Amino acid sequence: MPAVALVLVAGVIGTQLANGGGTFEPLRTADPCVARDVTAQSDGIEGLTERLVLLGIDGAACRLGVSREALTLDLGQGGDPTDAQVDALRAGLEAAVARMEDDGTLPPASELVDEALDSADLNGFLEAAIRALPDSIIDGALKTDDVLVRAIGDLDLRELLGNLDSQDALNDQLQPAIVDAVKDSLADRLRDLI
């Protein structure tokens, strides 16, 4: 039995060495300044904000000259974020909106209206009137990029970043806050439309 075990262990080690196991190098972190394809796991406003947050973090890390991972780890340590971090994240989120607008992945406002109205506190008559509007009128009056930039501007990023207790909490904090801000912004703009 010991001889069989020794032969098996030698076989595993030999296979690992033959396939490059002796020259292990850790993976390099990706350059946050290089555009990457980001796909969302969700649909609607949540999917939109998921992409927005991922691209925004890339933009913030690029502006700060650090990797995405280093920025996420730094913000996840807790404590007050620096002015540079807050400014970089806001600029990164706004740049993400511009990038999605440029590459055609930003949905028209009409695709987000039903979801925003479902969570809005509107009277039934006003909600029915908004839902009856043709998509062309909604898209003509509301530009998704304007709504997103307004929502980003309304976010208290310092407070959001100050409440982080782990690196995973960054997405967990930002996404719901942006979803709510987008829904509120859309609902406000729709009220103004009618």
**pLDDT tens sequence across 3-13:** 888 888 888 88
Cα dihedral 66, 169, 107, 152 sign: negative
Answer yes or no: is pLDDT of 139 > 80: yes
Q: Which amino acid is at 52?
A: L
pLDDT band with cut points at 50, 70 and 90 for residue 37? confident
Q: Within its chain, how far is the Cα of 142 from the centroid?
A: 22
Report whether pLDDT(31) > 70: yes
Distance separating alpha carbons of residues 188 and 109, to the nearest angstrom: 13
Show me where the domains of the chain are located. 44-193
pLDDT of residue 92: 93
| Residue found under tokens 């898209």 | 139
For residues 143 and 83, give the distance between their C-alpha atoms in angstroms, rounded to a whole number. Answer: 29
Model confidence at 63, pLDDT cuts 50, 70, 90, reads very high
What's the CA gap between 15 and 123, in Å, rounded?
A: 69
Question: Tens digits of per-residue pLDDT, 172-184?
Answer: 667 677 767 777 7
Q: Which DSSP symbol is given to 151?
A: H
Between residues 52 and 121, which one has the greater pLDDT? 52
Residue 102 has what pLDDT? Answer: 92
Q: Return the pLDDT at 87.
A: 93
Q: What is the 3-state secondary structure (H, E, C) of 109-161?
A: CHHHHHHHHHHCCCCHHHHHHHHHCCHHHHHHHCCHHHHHHHHHHHCCHHHHH
From the CB of residue 76, how many other CB atoms can be counted at a distance below 10 Å? 15
Q: Which residues contact 167 (CB under 8 A, 6 or more apart)?
A: 72, 73, 75, 76
Contact status, residue 75 vs residue 85, Cβ threshold 8 Å: yes
**What's the pLDDT at 45?**
77
What is the structure's pLDDT at 167? 53
Cα 30 from Cα 18, distance rounded (Å): 28
pLDDT for the residue 43 = 77
| Cβ contact 85:63 at 8 Å | no
